[in-house]
Structures are given as C-alpha cells and as structure tokens.
A = this chain, B = another copy of it.
Amino acid sequence: MNDFFQKEFTTGQFAALYGVNKRTLMYYDSIDLFKPAIVKKNGYRYYTYGQSVFFDVIQLLRKLRLPLEEIKKHLAHCTPQKTRTLLYNQSQMLEQELAELMWLQKVVQNKISRMEAKPEIDYSKIEIIESKAQAIVTSEPTSKISMEQVMKITLKFMRDCYHTRTYNGYPLGYMMDAEKMQQGDFSQLTNCFYHIDENHSEAVNWTYKPAGRYLVGYYKGSWTNMDPALQQLTDYANGHGLTFTGNAYLENILDDTAAVEDYYYCEAKISILLK
C-alpha cells in the first residue's frame, strides 16, 4: 500500500486524472506552488497519488478566489487556526459576491420581463387610469437649480442606486410639480426616481407613487422636445375640467440597454395625479 501511494504519473497522466491542463501543472511547478514528487534526470516530472490531497486543497482555495500567491503563502505555514480564519474570510467574500450576483440576476430578470411584456402603445392616446401605489426611490430635489446641477444630481442618484443595489432594473423617471405644470410651467423637474421591487430591493429610504386617478399620456421623440406633449396633456385637462395635484411622473418606457443608438430619442409615459 505504501509504494502504491508512490506510484508515478507523468504530467500528462496526472493532469488527465484531475481534469486540468498539463501546462497548468508546469506553471504551478514554475511558480513553486505545486511541484512534482520527483524530477528524473531526463527532466521528466513525476507526480504521485500522495500529492492529491495537496492538489485538491489548491483547487478548492482557487475556487474560493484566493490568488495563487496567497495559496502558496498559506500552505507554507498552514495551521488549523489559520486555515479556519482563511476559510472564514473567503466565506465572507463569497457572501458579498453572492449578494451582488443575486441582485444582478434580479435586475436582468426585470429588464427581460419588461421587454417581453411591452405592449403596443398608441402614443397619441390620452386616458384616465386608476392606479395602485407603486414603490419608488427618489433623488435629492432638483428644482430651482441649473440644468448642470440637475444632471450631476441625476448621475449621482443613478450611481448610488447602482452601488447600494437599490436599482432593480427599471428605467429612470422624472417628477414634476403637477400644479405648476397645469399653469404651463414645464421647466421644473422636482427630482428623478426609480421604480423598485418593494420586497426585493435593498433600498432604505423609499416611498410610494401614490394610488389614485392619473391622467396618462405618451410621448415618443427627442428628449429635448417634450414640452408640446406636456402642453397637450395640460390642455386636455383644462378642457375636461381636471385638476392636477401632487406630482407628474415622466417614466421611460424603453430600457436603457435597448435604446442605445440615439441618446436623444425617448419613449415615455406621462402620468399626472388628479384631484
């Protein structure tokens, strides 16, 4: 049994046994991470079964994203205590990575769902819709500041939502003061917002787009030329004796990922809360 553990395998054989590339074994040899049990005088490397545990450990630590250099250091002075600490740290790291991946997965799933569910929209239609409350996160206020500042705040908001994993894959929206809008002032964006999944987002300070009756219209065209559409909605409201209250919500319909070609082009849903 003893000499059996010593049975010699060439690089190719040992590599095949473990399903790795033999150049990897040579590489590990060259960086002194995992060396053959013996090198014969013709230069041929020979590995043994006895080395398998060692090799397995390397493979595991590799999977745990530990750099080869760290693995080497660890194996050089490896105590049960140190091993425990190492595993614990890597496990913490894995946890982070898992959280990130699960979030990403959710984001992508939501984007896909939205793409698949996209209905045919009559962009000239104006309607009144009874809507449930929807969870959103909002940015800092953007009213009464320069467009430059608005953009800065928007970018910061987007970056923050991304990093804090508040973002759930829904497109960005903007809010306006609905009462000002009714007075014909379309210039003041009060803030921007994201829809979020009430149950799954890691958002901390989120609110609702309130439940209620909304006047809803659609728009497609250049980002920079939306005012006539807003005017049309306002006219409609005034012509039908409707009173705006609270906020107007400009929500992108197209997902960012899909609408890359022309960055001025947008399709948006405009909903304004009615009294």
Determine whether A151 belongs to the interface, using a CB cutoff of 8 Å to chain B.
yes
**A105 touching B91 by the CB < 8 A rule?**
yes
CA distance A91 to B112 in the complex (A): 9
**A101 and B104 in contact, given A87-B111, A257-B57, A261-B78 (Cβ under 8 angstroms):** no
CA distance A256 to B75 in the complex (A): 12
**A87 touching B50 by the CB < 8 A rule?**
no
**B94 touching A2 by the CB < 8 A rule?**
no
**B98 touching A257 by the CB < 8 A rule?**
no
Type the 1/0 row for A233-273, where 1 means its CB is closer than 8 Å to any CB of B: 00000000000000000000001111111011000000000
Shortest CB-to-CB span from A246 to chain B, Å, is 25
Determine whether A60 belongs to the interface, using a CB cutoff of 8 Å to chain B.
yes
**B83 touching A53 by the CB < 8 A rule?**
no
Determine whether A232 belongs to the interface, using a CB cutoff of 8 Å to chain B.
no
Residues of B within 8 A of A4 (CB): 147-148, 151
**A88 touching B105 by the CB < 8 A rule?**
no
Nearest 7 CB-CB pairs, A to B? A91-B108, A83-B258, A80-B258, A4-B147, A50-B263, A94-B105, A84-B115
- A-side residues, CB < 8 A to B, are 1-2, 4-5, 7, 17-19, 49-54, 56-57, 60-61, 63-64, 75, 78, 80, 83-84, 87-88, 90-91, 94-95, 97-98, 101-102, 104-105, 107-109, 111-112, 115-116, 147-148, 151, 155, 158-159, 223-224, 255-261, 263-264
Q: List 8 A-B contacts (CB under 8 A).
A: A1-B147, A17-B155, A19-B159, A51-B263, A54-B260, A54-B263, A57-B256, A84-B116
